[in-house]
Chains A and B, each alone.
Chain A
Amino acid sequence: MVKLKLMYSGLVVRSGRPVKEGPPDLFAALADPVRRVLLERLAPGELSVTELGEGLAVSQAAVSQHLRLLREVGLVEVRQDGRFRRYRLRTERFAELRTWLDELERFWTQRLDALGDYLERDS
């Protein structure tokens, strides 16, 4: 059961809020197709709002809105560069997600091993 503690500790404990209130969680943030495009564009490096919104069928205001949300959940950060605000990914947040998923995968691997033991025992 120790593994299960681990698998749920990352996202919930750190955010410490009810599931339905407050800023949306990481997975919800990643679910939106526009935000996925923005994140994908940021994968190679920093970009401005204008660059991020190029060719997208949404207004710059909408892009800014998405970026605000991504900042709130910590997937993206911004810095002032002269007249421009430049956005970039916070890879440590993605790393956190990955760790959490790896824990979940480990949990299921262990459980399926336990199923093997169970089958041996009861045959």
Chain B
Amino acid sequence: MRADITVVAVYPHPRARVWQALVSAEALSAWLMPTDFRPVVGHGFTFRTTPRPGFDGVVRCRVLEISEPDRMVWSWLGGPVDTTVTFTLAELGPSSTRLRFEQTGFHGLGAQFARLILTRGWKKMAAVGLPAHLDRQA
């Protein structure tokens, strides 16, 4: 399954160190959002940010999988977003680690589909819609 959102980053640090920054509440609170995370499968935790109309500012999560040293999965529910986020670490060298972040779900790949349709719709508009429109104007 293709993820709706994928972000990849490479850090000049050992994998164990990056892993620690993913599974410590203190670290997560520093680089992501304030949280009461604990690295225990099934543990429910939250991230807190500024509330907005329609969004109480609380992201509700659950630990779905922790496979030290390279994979962690959470459910991620906030506002209209009911998704799954996955962190995967790959050791590129003694002091080089690749982190792949993926967010999937959005009600059954709807997001990915929206992108696809948009691309096709726009291509078609460019190929047919605009020239046809110009013809009519001519």
Contacts and interface: CB of A to CB of B under 8 A. Distances in A.
Size category of the binding interface on chain B: 35 or more
Identify whether the interface residues of A are mostly helix, strand, loop, or mixed: helix
B32 A111 contact: yes
Interface in A3-47: 4-5, 8-9, 11-13, 15-16, 19, 25-31, 36, 39-40, 43-45
A123 B30 CA distance: 14
B110 A5 contact: no
Nearest to B77: A19
Interface stretch (A48-56, A61-69, A78-86, A98-106): A98-106
24 contacts: A1-B50, A4-B33, A5-B52, A8-B78, A12-B55, A12-B80, A25-B80, A27-B110, A28-B107, A30-B107, A31-B109, A43-B120, A45-B124, A45-B128, A97-B114, A98-B118, A105-B7, A108-B7, A112-B7, A115-B31, A116-B9, A118-B31, A119-B18, A122-B21
Interface of A: 1, 4-5, 8-9, 11-13, 15-16, 19, 25-31, 36, 39-40, 43-45, 89, 91, 94-95, 97-98, 101, 104-105, 108-109, 111-119, 122-123
